[in-house]
Amino acid sequence: MNPALEGRTLPPIGPYLVGREKVREFARAVQSRSPLSIDADAASAAGYEGLLAPPTFAIVVQEAALQQLLAEPDTGIDFARVVHGDQRFGFVRPVVAGDELLAHLSVTSIKTLAGNSMVTAETAITDLDGELVVTAVSTLVVRAEQ
């Protein structure tokens, strides 16, 4: 793992258009029972401009930014040894169908423990006006070579 990655900020990815059917598919995949993620009338009656995405839907937007990081030629990350260590979300507002979002990834920490490397990346997910919607923080663990 390249320790010089810490502090690196990558160019934004997107825009990602949050589609109504993608929200429904994701809601079914995570077994969300909320009608706000399935029924447009229920979401509208609750005051949302589109279907309400389940909270973990933000990982869909963050994923492209993480792939961009993993594709950087100087990371020293062997993807075959990567496991997902931690995931957190901090919301300013919910994600709804119709949102167009940009993902701005920064590497906030590189650590080594027992031969395993951990890279923590924070992704600020904004709308097209630059307003923060959600911050997604992922820690990837690169297992030590056997």
22 phi, psi to nearest 5 deg: -65, -40
Look at the chain and report how many structural domains it folds into: 1
HSE-up of 6 (CA within 13 Å, CB side)?
A: 9
72 phi, psi to nearest 5 deg: -60, 130
CATH of the domain at 97: 3.10.129.10
Residue 115 and residue 144 in contact, taking contact as beta carbons nearer than 8 Å:
yes
Q: Of the given ranges (49-53, 66-70, 133-137, 141-145), which has the lowest mean pLDDT?
A: 141-145
**67-97 confidence digits (pLDDT tens):** 999 898 998 888 788 889 899 999 999 999 9
Does residue 29 sit within a domain?
no
**96-115 confidence digits (pLDDT tens):** 999 999 999 999 999 998 88
- Give the C-alpha separation, 21 to 23, whole Å: 5
Does residue 26 sit within a domain?
no
Range of the domain at 58: 3-19+53-142
Does residue 37 sit within a domain?
no
Q: Can you give the pLDDT at residue 145? A: 81
Residue 87 and residue 137 in contact, taking contact as beta carbons nearer than 8 Å:
yes
Does residue 128 sit within a domain?
yes
Q: Can you give the pLDDT at residue 57? A: 98
Which tokens is 128 given?
Answer: 């097209």
Does residue 47 sit within a domain?
no
